[in-house]
A and B are shown apart, each in its own frame.
Chain A
Amino acid sequence: MSRTSSPASRPERGTPLLAVRDLRTVFHTPRGAVRAVDGVDLDLAAGETLGIVGESGSGKSVLGRTVMGLVTSGPTTTITGSVTLDGSDVHALSSRARRQLWGPRIAMVFQDPMTSLNPVKHVGTHLTEPLRLHLGLGRRAAAERAVELLTQVGIPEPARRAGQYPHELSGGMRQRVVIAMALACDPDLLIADEPTTALDVTVQKQILDLLGDLTGRLGMAMVLISHDLGAIAGRTDRVGVMYGGRVVESTATTALFAAPRHPYAEALLASIPQLTDPPHTVLRAIEGSPPDLVAPPQGCRFRPRCPYADQQCHEEDPVLVDLGQPGVPHRAACHHPLPVPARVDA
């Protein structure tokens, strides 16, 4: 059953790996139905990296967990649509079969390394558990592989660190351990859910670079979830901008940075502080707050905060349409997409 960690078993780069179709995750709460993910489509090829950007509460973390199958339908949760990973529908599988995906096929890096490691377990144990479970390694072999993994994520003195408890490591080191944990069984797809939000600014870049480096080197596909467009720039092939449980713009990362078409993406880009700004430039924030997912605004969900909104935005809910050039899809859900600035070809 268990796959070896040879690269030969990985789907060839470029073949479709993940297909998400009209995915909806609804939590039934006393306040009403919270539509955390409300009709999302995603495609990811093997070895490709996709950024998901949005504010807190835009549904991006729930999206990640639903794609992984960590959130499933139950008494308080309804999931519709489909998540197909390498040919199998994650939500149609038995829980046993789904557990066999977690680790060797799909793995997750969590947001807060302070809380995502068990305080009473040695660092090494976090790594040997999945190795022994999925790859059937013996105690010795698993321990050796754990040290290799710690080396791979750039932890100095890996053998000594493996015998320590999580609280004896710094935040950045712990996040490296969390990454090593996700990499343990050599997954085809890594979902990194805000992997740097809880870290010091100086460490954030190191962790992001590590993730970018590892996915490139191991040929692993990655979904990088972040509220920070800056974290995604240069590290992902494509990007999806989420707002109110939906993807409102999706295109190549370079295309988004060059010319955002959705006003929300434009506002997000404008809120990144630039080094070239003169000193004391006031940071640009997006006025208002994210939509209430129990009772989203009528029409376009961004309308209450959008400087370009008009009567049509109030009445009609915009759908994603392709506005891009042939061969370069650029999809946005907006009645009044921003114009592409005239290109000055060199």
Chain B
Amino acid sequence: MRKVLTTLAELVLVLLLVSFGVFLLVALIPGDPAVAILGDGFPPEAYAALRAELGLDRPLLVRYGDWLLGVLSGDLGSSIIPPQTDVLDRILAALPVSLQLAGMGLAMAIVLAVPLAMWSASKPGGVVDRIIGASMFGILSVPAFLIGLLLVLVFVNELGWFPRAQWVRIGADPIGNLHHAFLPALVIALSELALFTRILRNDLVTTLNEDFILAARAKGMHPVRILVGDALRPSSFSVVTLLGISVGRLVGSTVIVEYLFALPGMGTLVVNAANQGDFPMVQGAVLVVATIYVLVNAGIDLSYGYLDPRTRRAHAA
């Protein structure tokens, strides 16, 4: 329990730093939002007025304080690009798409990676291990957009198994939504799958050489039961860590997949906002993604205590 509390306290501090970092980063992006809005050949008075309206004439720290107060009260401001929609509304529309994609993709990757890694590791250097290993390197070496394009060509254009229509909200039509999300999630899953399989396979091979595995065998346990019941948990540190990093990465940066499948996710939102100099939108979106990233990794941190009871003691002391 104490571990959870200290982790929470750390989280608040980290998120505060993240928010300042995000703010600073966006403020330092070259280019003047006012110029971007006004376009060429504007009168100087209009420029000054717009800067005042956007609050850009005030000192950086004052603007940060203002923004932070807004964020804490749930107000991320509104877009400076017409129509001047509410940033939070736009994010709340895009975030579920990204979360679903990342979630489905990672779930597919893990569900496939665990048995593949176990199969590989059960006979290191064997035929199965080599075939799986080579396939994973193959997947890793092909860029995601190429795999995506191929999948679209074959399964959407040729076979017509999957729709290429508008995104369907999961609330509106769950089956249609899953149908639509399957291919993009698969593209995401493949590269993660390759990574997870390699990492988990290597850790499993190491664990399987441990004495306690031999001891488990000597008790007459079935090899598959030993793999699942004895070897998997002590071997899962790296892959769980990687999983946490992947969640954060995927929520904010699946632009290519979103573009390929015309999905209105966070990646598209951020990229468009950045291109248009829509700084409140970029700030809000990056802050949300960063928060998710930090939260997920804090959860991963706490899960180590479950994965290895020995780490619990270190924090309790």
Contact = CB atoms under 8 A, between A and B. Distances in A.
Interface of A: 68, 70, 99-104, 107-108, 110-112, 115-121, 129-130, 133-134, 165, 167-168, 178, 181-182, 184
Given A107-B218, A108-B218, 19 more contacts: A68-B218, A99-B220, A99-B221, A100-B220, A102-B219, A108-B215, A110-B211, A115-B210, A115-B211, A116-B211, A116-B215, A118-B212, A119-B310, A129-B221, A130-B219, A130-B221, A134-B220, A165-B309, A167-B310
B65 interface: no
Nearest to B216: A118
Chain A CB within 10 A, most for which of B219, B310, B313: B219
Given A100-B220, A120-B234, A178 B309 contact: no
B307 interface: yes
* 7 closest Cβ pairs, A-B complex: A102-B220, A115-B211, A99-B220, A116-B211, A130-B219, A165-B309, A103-B220
B219 A133 contact: yes
A116 B233 contact: no
B58 interface: no
A178 B219 CA distance: 11
A112 B210 CA distance: 11
B220 A110 contact: no
Contact of A120 (B220, B222, B309): B309
B48 interface: no
Contacts of B211: 110-112, 115-116
Contacts of A108: 215, 218
A182 to B, nearest CB: 8
B220 A133 contact: yes
Interface residues of B, number: 20
A70 B308 CA distance: 27
Nearest to B313: A167
B217 interface: yes
Contacts of A181: 215, 219
Contacts of B310: 119, 165, 167
A103 B217 CA distance: 10
B243 to A, nearest CB: 18
B212 A115 contact: yes
Nearest to A134: B220
A111 B222 CA distance: 23
Interface in B177-219: 210-212, 214-219
B218 A120 contact: no
Given A119-B308, A165-B310, A102 B217 contact: yes
A178 B211 CA distance: 12
Chain A CB within 10 A, most for which of B215, B310, B313: B215
B230 interface: yes
B221 to A, nearest CB: 7
Given A99-B222, A102-B219, A130-B220, A70 B313 contact: no
A120 B233 contact: yes
A198 to B, nearest CB: 10
Nearest to A121: B230
A43 B310 CA distance: 43
A104 B219 CA distance: 9
B37 to A, nearest CB: 58
Nearest to B223: A95
B234 A70 contact: no
Contacts of A104: 220
B234 A118 contact: yes
A130 to B, nearest CB: 4
Interface in B37-88: none
B110 to A, nearest CB: 19
Nearest to A76: B125
A322 to B, nearest CB: 34
Interface in B229-277: 230, 233-234
Contacts of A130: 219-221
A152 B310 CA distance: 27
Contacts of A184: 219
B305 to A, nearest CB: 11
A85 B134 CA distance: 43
A70 B217 contact: yes
Contact of A70 (B218, B233, B307): B218
